[in-house]
Amino acid sequence: MLRPLLAGMLALPGGARVNVVPRADLMTMNIDERLGFILGRRSIRAYTPQAVSDEAVQKLLEAAMAAPSAAATDPWRFVVVKNREMLSRIADALPYGKMVGSAALGIVVCGDLEAAHDKQLSYLLQDCSAAIENLLLCAHVLGLGACWLGVHPREQRVKALHEILRLQISVIPMACIAIGYPAETKDPRTRFNPDYVRFEK
């Protein structure tokens, strides 16, 4: 069945317009096919030297900022890094993030504590994490590989990223997402575990 309310053109700030998904197209796919974009997203840590276009980066940011945030405060802030020297410095600051040094780009996802709902760190972390998951899924859909590299709550990493990116005092670097065209493939999976589910209580 056509669901015209969900199809059509989407107006973006600045007057740009993009097509949004006509659900009728998706209706020809079964549920598991339609959920493949979630199960197929994996942490990709090896990248080809191929550059990532500015248009793709724009899509990643649009997807990230389509996440919900507490009281719609949108405390997320993004620093897009393509400069190789900067990427090397970030890689040096992240013990398990060496691969960002060979990625096409890194997007450092930060949260502005002044902008977060009630200036609460918990909301900042929740909102930024939802945005990151959207960004990772978008990367997968675009055929890119990406990996979430933890920064917060490691004080040394937070301090290092703060200095490298010259962030404002209220802006907390939460994670760095390494992004590039994948040089490794991984099978889709869920880590569904029935032990982690209770019914009613």
Which positions from 151 through 180 interact with a copy of itself, judged by CB under 8 A? Answer: 152-153, 164-166, 174-175
Q: Are 177 and 135 in contact (CB under 8 A)?
A: yes
Judged by CB under 8 A, the number of residues near a copy of itself is: 90
| Residues 167, 79: Cα–Cα separation, whole Å | 10
Q: Tell me, residue by residue from 27 to 66, as one string, x for binding to a copy of itself by CB under 8 A and - for no binding.
A: --xxxxxxxxxxxxx-x---------------x-xxx-xx
Selected from 49, 155, 169, 193, the binder of a copy of itself by CB under 8 A is 193
Selected from 95, 122, 156, 159, the binder of a copy of itself by CB under 8 A is 122
| Residues 151, 160: Cα–Cα separation, whole Å | 9
Selected from 46, 113, 130, 183, the binder of a copy of itself by CB under 8 A is 130
The encoded tokens of residue 13 equal: 């700030």
Residue 83 near a copy of itself by CB under 8 A: yes
Q: Which residues pair with 176 in a beta bridge?
A: 108, 149
Selected from 90, 91, 137, 144, the binder of a copy of itself by CB under 8 A is 137
Residue 13 near a copy of itself by CB under 8 A: yes
- 122/156 with CB nearer a copy of itself: 122
The encoded tokens of residue 11 equal: 């107006």
Task: Name residue, tokens 């740009």.
Answer: 16
| Residues 135, 109: Cα–Cα separation, whole Å | 10
The encoded tokens of residue 48 equal: 């080809």
Q: Are 176 and 102 in contact (CB under 8 A)?
A: no
The distance of closest approach from Cβ of residue 198 to a copy of itself in the complex, given in angstroms and rounded to an integer, is 5
The distance of closest approach from Cβ of residue 50 to a copy of itself in the complex, given in angstroms and rounded to an integer, is 15
